[in-house]
Amino acid sequence: MFRLLIMLVLLASSGVAQPERIDGELEERTEYAPPEVVEAAREYVLDILGQDVGSTCIVSALPTTKSRYGGSGPIEIKSWYISVQFRPRPRWDEECRFQIYTTSGDLKYLSMIDLDGRVGYLGQIPDCAMRPELCEIEINQEAAIEIAKNRGIDPEIGEFNLELTIYSEPKIVWKVESKPGNGKLPHRIFIDAVSGGILRDFEGRACR
């Protein structure tokens, strides 16, 4: 089994790094992670989530594209995007979704990536096996919307997005984002899905 370690890395704000421009034509190659990498990711995640929560877990490969200008020989892809989803409370409908990014194709390093394609620091996967209280969420989707309204977010104005994901310490959180339009900046908040507390509030300014 691969050696499985976490290394939290702050990466660029785009889903796939852009190649440095040099002479030559643009080449691209898109592939999915090999089955053995996906299986290693699945085993890694299940080991952390534990049997009960892990029974709801789905791990699958996502398309990974590598680009370059010029060069000789085939393009090699050694890093992969893998999708993970699970139910923190197996009897609830709420699905926690995130992605892991493997480096060098062997899961030696893992990072989190949020679902809108921006790679960034989201935190470790909650150790539900050893600390089940991390997955005992009390805030469902309807409650998260009410909390967001109390922070000044109107889900009826502009674009409104709500998702259950992982952020920081580690915690399972509701990420709520409102894009009202008309030149106004987004308002994004992170709600602790266990306690209902506000972890971060980006109001009236660009946020990532």
Mean pLDDT of the chain: 78
| Lowest mean pLDDT across 105-109, 149-153, 201-205 | 105-109
Structure tokens at 25: 């034509």
pLDDT band at residue 115, thresholds of 50, 70 and 90?
Answer: very low
Residue 84's identity, in one-letter code, is: V
More confident residue, 98 or 88: 88
Instruction: Please indicate, yes or no, whether the overall pTM of this predicted structure exceeds 0.85.
Output: no
Q: Which of 167, 135, 137 is nearest to 53 (CA)?
A: 135
How confident is the model at residue 104, as a pLDDT?
58
Is 56's pLDDT higher than 80?
A: yes
Asked whether the beta carbons of 125 and 23 are under 8 A apart, the reply is no
In this predicted structure, the answer to whether residue 141 has a pLDDT above a threshold of 90 is yes
Q: What is the pLDDT of residues 124-135, one digit of tens each?
A: 788 899 999 999
> Around 87, how many Cα atoms within 13 Å sit in the side-chain half-sphere?
10
The strand ranges marked E within the chain are 26-31, 58-61, 64-69, 80-86, 96-102, 110-113, 159-167, 171-179, 187-192, 198-202
CA distance 173 to 189: 10
